Amino acid sequence: MLSPIDSTALCQLTAAQIQEILVLNGVLIQQYQSQLHRWVTIAQLPDLGQLTLSLEPEKAAEIDRRLHQYELVEFTAMTTVMNLNICDRYVFIPLVEQPHLYEGDLGGERHHQSGLWGRICLVGHLHSIWTPQDLSWVQALGQQLLTAMNLLAATNSASKSMATSSSPLADLAELIEKITDLESICQQKDHFINQISHDLRAPLMNIKMAVRMLTTSLNTDPQIAELLEGHKAKTYLSILEQECGREVELIDNILDIQRLEYAIDARAEAHSLGTASPVVHQLNLESLEIATWLPNTIAPFNYRTQTDRQKLITSVSQWVPTIVTDRAYLTKIFTELLNNACKYTREDGEIIVAVDAPNPEWLTLVVKNQAEIADRHLPHIFEQFYRVPSGERAAQGGSGLGLALVHKLVTQLNGQIHVTSAAGWTEFAVNLPVGDRN
């Protein structure tokens, strides 16, 4: 099952997807507090601090009235950001709470009436153009977000109810029913993330393929090449392909984490019951010569570090065993760790890759780089969507999923991963069994 994630993180993830897919200046997800007649920002990208819309009271009231009638509102307005006045184009999309039944304590059903829950605000350039399909997609994504948040609320409410139960033995039948309901809710939450990932991946792959075909046409057609001589079209296509690839990688990581969590949970449940582990995620085990695998895997990073003026040092012990593992998993673990090391190492900094076999049963793979992480962040480093708050790290991009995926992959290989950071260095150490221990 998916690791615990709160509603704010879910809103932030949704806002990030909308911003990057539609290429917007910003996205806000706000909840309407009817008793106070005000809007509260739940998620905002980019983080602009205090962003204020300079709207006349009559205009603000008109927008609120139309949103309560479930209308999309589009307008231009002056925005104040860091004491600068900027004219932007806005679209407000209402998020409507659908009527449904939920169990506040999983003991008695309560009706939840429909109404305006909040709004998604798209912030674009004055001449930005959004198609009806774009706005329909955002609205549908917002409604799926509300469904997931309701499931999260029901899960938390049920957990509190179970924790305060005074007579668990007398209510055993009810407890079993509650557990079943909770499992169903968690599965629906997992399905929400999974479905969004699939829905986003398909159009992105089509876009990526179209960009490649267009690039090929530009390179092979001499007439077009002559017309575009000195034009920035190729640069724009390169940026589009790069960003599209980054989004596809993000979605693939989400899907991989979903599959791995299901496999790990199933194996843990089977172990607790004393039964054989179900085959929910088959490993492609093979005998792998580390001494041969490592140079081929590290080769692309040699060029990258030279370009970035970093120093990459490799240290391999004299005796490195042949291990039984999944080549694709091990390669993903290593490249993700080394990619992070390259991203967060300064120019002229050092990156060290070390491979050792402390005993005949275990292999240790270490990736170490000159960058330090504060102690308070280390316990959260493998959590999904967690990113160390730093201006330099934020500029590097990333989704906060890479290390979470690495942790799941290492667990699936029956290994262990540890992180330490001190004296200007950060070290990730992966310990893997030499033989198959499934």
Helix, strand, or coil (residue 242): helix
pLDDT confidence of residue 49: 47
pLDDT confidence of residue 369: 96
- The tens digit of pLDDT for each residue in 31-72 reads 998 888 888 888 888 754 445 556 678 888 888 899 988 889
| Tokens representing residue 179 in the block | 């557990």
What are the extents of the domains in the chain? 7-164, 200-282, 285-433
Beta bridge partners of 53: 79
Which residue numbers in the chain have pLDDT < 50? 1-4, 48-50, 100-112, 165-166, 168, 278-280, 391-395
- Identity of residue 298: I
pLDDT confidence of residue 105: 38
Q: How many CB atoms lie within 10 A of CB 74?
A: 13
pLDDT confidence of residue 391: 44
- The tens digit of pLDDT for each residue in 183-234 reads 666 666 566 666 666 666 667 777 777 777 777 777 777 777 777 777 777 7
What φ, ψ does residue 416 adopt, rounded to 5°?
Answer: -140, 150
| Tokens representing residue 386 in the block | 């967690």
The CATH superfamily holding the domain 285-433 is Histidine kinase-like ATPase, C-terminal domain (3.30.565.10)
Whole-angstrom distance, CA of residue 108 vs CA of residue 297: 57
- Do the beta carbons of residue 270 and residue 278 sit within 8 Å? yes
| Tokens representing residue 186 in the block | 């968690």
State yes or no: cis peptide before 46, omega within 30 of 0.
Answer: yes
For the 7-164 domain, the top CATH level (class) is alpha beta
The DSSP annotation for 181-222 comes to: HHHHHHHHHHHHHHHHHHHHHHHHHHHHHHHHHHHHHHHH-H
Beta strand 51-54 with 100-103 is: unpaired
Whole-angstrom distance, CA of residue 191 vs CA of residue 211: 30
pLDDT confidence of residue 79: 60
